[in-house]
Structure 1
Amino acid sequence: MFRSLLRLPVALIAVLGVLLVAACSAPTTDGTTVTDVATGPRTAVVDAEPEPITTDPAPALPATVRGVDGVETTITDISRIVVADRSGTLAQTVYALGLGDKLVGRSTASFPAIQDVPNVTPGGHGLNAEAILALNPTVVLTDTSIGPLAVQEQIRATGVPVVFVDPERSLDTVADDIEAVAAALGVPEAGAALAQRTLDEIAAAKDSIPADHPEPTVAFLYLRGSAIKMLGGPGSGADALVAAAGGRDAGILAGLDSQFVPITSEAMIASAPDIILVMTHSLDSVGGPEGLSQLPGVAQTPAGKTGTIVDMDDSTLLSFGPQTGKVLAALVEAFYPSDRS
């Protein structure tokens, strides 16, 4: 091969050299060049099963808590827990507290240990009061990310304790959210231990970022087939993960002022990502990496030119629960693979 190259005209060799450098170097929005970002598609893998902090929790009941809706609720029995939130964080948290055997209903959370637990939102994100009440819950944990609100109020009106937790999910709220769920279920000590373990795992993930790492620009895309194609910006949730993993959020650098905007050629080209971050099912919904490259402007970005796509399980990436440290560690490994050249 090298002998063949030597027989090429000098001008053509020069052109090939320029193309090679261009393929290995991605211009960033501030005029610098990232030359050490590993290219190509890869999956950031997280063990989907949260590890219980204890196998023998001892609930101290009754427990009285005030939900984010301002309603004070007393819980006397946690033998049949139903959780309902859009991100699936509540199911992860209950399981990680060692109370997975008490779960009788859940929403979108998906990991092997709870696959047989009835999904109270089988048709999407809408709740059905009759279906939930048929599970004979002794307590319902929920938030305003899911509804309609009239359903939660109807369940509460029957006498079932309904506790609303904060619907906001971010790195800054992880510990507080865990402890809020633990308090409602009468296991505050397990909650404190789980929160600390999660914070320790987040810190360890940050410490695992290579000291000489590049600072890749990462665009988070939220996709649902042909119906929804959005570029993440400030407050998307992914922006905090990208920053914690040593990267820069492409939407923020492009000047977006909302959590998500429709994908356009202009927005994608302006964001100039070195890496595209996407949920696994989102990627599948547009036909995989090849389909993603057909979205407006993607092929014109550094990530599009190198096919650098990182995907992660939908129910894990933005859950911001007890798996957060593991999520961050997986992103660090995907952004800076150990075998990169």
Structure 2
Amino acid sequence: MRRHRCRRLFAVAALLLAVTLGASACGAATSIGTPEGDGVELSPVATAPTPVLPAEVRSADGTIVTVTDASRILPLWGNLSEIVFALGLGDRVVGRDVSATFPGTEDLPIVTRAHDVSTESVLSLEPTVVLAQTDTGPPEALDQIRAAGIAVVVLEMPMSIDDITPRIRTIAEALGVPAAGEDLVDRTEREIADARDTIPEGSEPLVAFLYLRGQAGVYLLGGEGSGADSMIAAAGGEDAGRAIGLDRPFTPITSEAMVEAAPDVILLTGSGLESVGGIDELLAMPGIAQTPAAASRRVVTVEDGILYSFGSRTPLALAELIEAIHTDGSAS
């Protein structure tokens, strides 16, 4: 009964995510989200909460940052934007990174080129607080933003699903809404638990995450620390790269490694699949062609921004990933 109740809960998420599941007559992979934005309106846990400031937080760069004004918030990664919107502060966000693709962000000005921060673009928006990650760069850009008197809070780059809770708490504390932060933590942990309740007993498919950029000649197999390995484990699968002993986040794909890994499911981003010409071209590649996943055409794609972003959309993505990798259907 519990499992059926959880499935009804996440059926709504499935519709919102515009996910296509099961067999496809035209040979498309099972897909979660879209590069243009997945249609998910993040439901805030509070309605326009009033920040209580000033607030002091320890930034990941080792400094203590004092935030005195949260009227104009600028998150420099999509997952940071997700959390700010989910806290109910979306109306205070003045700009975005290219990876913020969910509804409510489409009209916000982009302040990054690829993921490199444009200092001029940031300063032109007159933010009162900027949220960044340890991999936000270039470092000189953040230094210039600080020099302009703007509070810059840097968070550690998330590496696993377990990093979501501390990120929510840090962001909520920095923005002066710790109570909303605890509400969001409770909801996120509940939704993740509900999603995991739908994992079929005894099912543990081997899932290989491939990072592909065909135009650039980049063909990598994920292993320990890729970020995708955390999502695969949370979804009740076994990461194929880790299973064959890959102790680095990414390793160049070889035919021998793919044959040894023998994944039941191939997981990759939608842009990665597109970069190699689609599912038929992917499954014809040496090594990949010899896998059980190729034989059954079990390929799952996830929107780039939600596979390993570890933000407020992660529970919805996890629910759909669970459904996808434990489904016997295949792309035809």
For the aligned pair, the TM-score class normalised by the smaller chain equals 0.7 to 0.9
Decide whether the 8 Å contact of 2:298 with 2:329 is kept in 1: no
Q: Describe the SS at the equivalent of 2:208.
A: strand
* Residue identity opposite 1:134 in structure 2: S
Displacement of 1:175: 0.5
Q: Write the distance in 2 (CA, Å) between the matches of 1:217 and 1:39.
A: 19
Alignment of 1:77-96 (within 5 A): 77-85=69-77, 88-96=78-86
Alignment of 1:27-176 (within 5 A): 41-45=29-33, 48-85=40-77, 88-107=78-97, 108-121=99-112, 123-176=113-166
Displacement of 1:143: 1.2
> Equivalent residue for 1:183?
173
Q: Describe the SS at the equivalent of 1:218.
A: strand
Gaps of 5+ in 1: 1-37
Decide whether the 8 Å contact of 1:216 with 1:274 is kept in 2: yes
Is 1:219 the equivalent of 2:208?
Answer: yes
Decide whether the 8 Å contact of 2:60 with 2:134 is kept in 1: no
Alignment of 1:193-232 (within 5 A): 193-211=183-201, 213-227=202-216, 228-232=218-222
Q: Describe the SS at the equivalent of 2:57.
A: strand
* Residue identity opposite 1:92 in structure 2: E
Deviation string for 1:102-125 (max 9, x for gaps)?
11111121112101111111x312
Deviation string for 1:114-165 (max 9, x for gaps)?
01111111x3121111111011111111012120111101110111111111
> Equivalent residue for 1:268?
258
Q: Write the distance in 2 (CA, Å) between the matches of 1:101 and 1:74.
A: 22
Gaps of 5+ in 2: 1-21
Q: Write the distance in 2 (CA, Å) between the matches of 1:235 and 1:50.
A: 27
**How many positions carry a matched residue from both structures?**
299
TM-score by length of 1: 0.83
TM-score by length of 2: 0.86
Deviation string for 1:196-231 (max 9, x for gaps)?
1001111111111122x4321000111122322211
Decide whether the 8 Å contact of 1:39 with 1:308 is kept in 2: no
